[in-house]
Chains A and B, each alone.
Chain A
Amino acid sequence: MNTTAHAGHVAHHFDDAEQQYTAAELGMWVFLATEVLFFGGLFAGYAIYRYWYPHEFIEGSHHLDVPLGTINTAILLTSSLTMALAVHAAQTSERRATVRNLVLTLLLGSAFLGIKGYEYYHKYEEHLVPGGNFKIPEKKSAPAATDLSADENRTPPRPEIQASVSSPIELFFSLYFLMTGLHALHMVIGAAILLVLIVAASRGAFTQAYFTPVEMTGLYWHFVDIVWVFLFPLLYLIR
């Protein structure tokens, strides 16, 4: 442990750099635990409604673009790799590699948001955005799986839901936009933090002695990636 050489980075209430780093790491994980529960509420709502309206969720899912979703998942997983490599570069005091990998992460994150925006625009054009503009889409899924009227066992729409939506398919899209929208908001915040990091990294702010902001941003970025890892199969791949 080195308590003197890099004392400039250690706030006065910490004994040494290692204690300061451990505190930051634990604090970040506590924040991520609150984030897990923040998204967890939406996943819980999703589980209940999918259990009540399995056929409508299958039908709604067929109106999402699986190839674009797959490409976006691959992009986001790759951005997690470049983020991890940025942490590695910062830990080994490689300034150019740190900047390069942070820029790559930002570019991949922006590509994800671009594709997401393109998907949103198409949903808007297809009248699949919940609200006054929403129209029940023509059926795309296999008839046997989703013949909504013929299935005697299906749960009838609950009164409180019938009053507010044209069809439980609209509920599926409400959850789709809420969950992917909240995820995209996290991506935008992550991109803003990455911008700040890129400026700092290019000035040589991060070295083996002090790389805490890079590692903490990495934890956040990977968490947002994990949320998408669950959103993708649950929204796009229901059959």
Chain B
Amino acid sequence: MQPHVVPKSIYFTAAAGLGVLLVLTVVAAQFNLGVWNAPIAVLIALAKAALIVLFFMHVRYGSPLLRVFAAGGFLWLVILFLLMLPDYLTRH
């Protein structure tokens, strides 16, 4: 079997990107951005997760079937929050 070998340079670039995003999220937390504090923190975390999933976890190089499987877990998490939040956010 011939494995798909991802060049080391891609791993190092992804890791550098993760480092930049880590600094960014810590710096952003020093400013009070009101209601935007949490969404910005979550957005940066999503960007980090995307780098890890696509490159370290090889989803970028995976078959379409593998991508569907990888997206599946995330999809169910989205359903969990989409069904839950309208309830709690509108209850008084």
Summarize A's interface: helix, strand, loop or mixed.
helix
* Chain B min CB distance to A154 (Å): 13
What 9 pairs across the A-B complex have the smallest Cβ distances? A33-B73, A36-B73, A237-B29, A233-B41, A17-B1, A29-B69, A81-B15, A91-B3, A84-B11
Tell me if B41 and A218 are in contact (CB < 8 A). no
- Residues of A in contact (CB 8 Å), total 59
Q: How far is A29 from B58 in the complex, measured between Cα atoms in Å?
A: 12
Interface string of B66-85 (1 = CB under 8 A from A): 10011011101100110011
Residues of chain B contacted by A6 (CB below 8 angstroms): 1
CB distance from A7 to the nearest CB of B (A): 11
Identify the closest chain B residue to A21 (Cβ). Answer: B1
Total residue contacts A-B, CB cutoff 8 A? 142
Contacts of A73 in B (CB 8 A): 22
Tell which of B53, B56, B77, B89 touches A84, judged by Cβ atoms closer than 8 Å: B56
CB of B81 within 8 A of CB of A211, answer no
* Interface residues of B, Cβ cutoff 8 Å to A: 1-3, 5-6, 8, 11-12, 14-15, 18-19, 22, 25-26, 29-32, 37-38, 41-42, 44-45, 48-49, 52-53, 55-58, 62-63, 65-66, 69-70, 72-74, 76-77, 80-81, 84-85, 88-89
Q: Which of B6, B37, B62, B74 contacts A239 (CB 8 A)?
A: B37
Q: Within the assembled complex, what's the spacing in Å between the Cα atoms of A226 and B15?
A: 13
Q: Is the CB of A32 within 8 A of B73?
A: yes
With A22-B63, A222-B53 already in contact, 11 other A-B pairs whose C-beta atoms are closer than 8 Å:
A25-B66, A26-B69, A40-B77, A43-B77, A73-B22, A81-B11, A83-B56, A215-B58, A222-B57, A229-B52, A233-B44
Instruction: Decide if A18 touches B49 in the complex (CB within 8 Å).
Output: no
Cross-chain contact A85 with B80 (CB below 8 angstroms): no
Give 27 A-B contacts (CB < 8 Å), ordered by A residue. A1-B2, A21-B1, A22-B66, A30-B72, A33-B73, A36-B77, A50-B38, A66-B26, A81-B11, A84-B14, A91-B5, A145-B32, A208-B2, A211-B3, A215-B58, A219-B57, A226-B48, A229-B45, A229-B52, A233-B25, A233-B41, A233-B45, A234-B42, A237-B25, A238-B38, A239-B29, A239-B31
